[in-house]
Amino acid sequence: MTFQHRSSAWPGDRVAEARAVIADVAHHSDLLIRLACNVLAQHGETQGERADAQRLLLVVDARRPVSRAQREDQGRAAR
């Protein structure tokens, strides 16, 4: 088994990818948008970028049907 070392560019690369997803939300799944929002909420450069990501996450989560949201949230809590 070999281990790959993470490069120091990892956070920067993920933030850049997350920004690309957010810039084109109409062409990405809600799951991918949620992931991008979570990355930007944690690793965004500015407080404004982090706050915007959190707001968009609220909007995307509000679009989920209640029963699906409950199932997904229960699955996360079980981990």
Going residue by residue through the chain, which has 79 residues, state the pLDDT in tens, using 9 for 90 and above. Answer: 455 555 567 788 999 999 999 999 999 998 999 999 999 999 999 999 999 999 999 999 888 776 666 777 777 676 6
Residue position matching structure tokens 């997350």: 18
Q: What is the pLDDT of residue 1?
A: 46
Residue position matching structure tokens 């070999």: 2
Domain extents for the chain?
12-78
Q: Rounded CA gap, 42 and 5, in Å?
A: 22
Contact of 49 with 40, CB cutoff 8 Å: yes
Q: What is the pLDDT of residue 3?
A: 52
Nearest to 17 by CA among 2, 6, 31, 33: 33
Q: What is the pLDDT of residue 56?
A: 95
